[in-house]
Amino acid sequence: MHAPRPVLVFDGDCGFCTTSAGLLERRVRGSSRFAVLPWQRLDLDAYGLTEGQCTEAVQWVAADGRVSSAQDAIARCLLAGAPWARLVGALLLAPGVNAVAGVVYRWVAANRYRLPGGTPACAVTPHPPR
């Protein structure tokens, strides 16, 4: 199945992810027609997603149903956003930059519970409180 409009799917149980998604929604979306929604409020089957995919990384579901994950999802979101963000999105998909962005994305995802707005509950793998 495909989304009626593109959607960026994030982990709504993570404070860091929620803050980041809100920033993308406010600063990037502009007049674009895409949604920014927590996976916990979606019928994942309708979007062709699994809970495992959504807990592992942010997901972008294009209007035609194509799914992008992690740094590629962020890039696709930027490409669909405000004009100023499109250049950044295109840059993130460039082969060398995309590889580096992937490393950065995986580090952020692994450490999101330590970042501003994050809590121990944000960890993909539970960590003891600091």
Alpha helix stretches (DSSP H) within the chain: 15-23, 51-56, 70-79, 83-93, 95-110
d(CA 41, CA 50): 13
> Which pTM does this prediction carry?
0.84
Of residues 71 and 120, which shows the higher confidence score?
71
d(CA 89, CA 3): 21
Measured at the alpha carbon of residue 120, what is the angle toward residues 118 and 126, in degrees to the nearest 5?
A: 130
52-77 pLDDT, tens digit per residue, is 999 999 999 999 999 999 999 999 99
74-88 pLDDT, tens digit per residue, is 999 999 998 889 999
The tokens describing 27, both together, are 């600063």
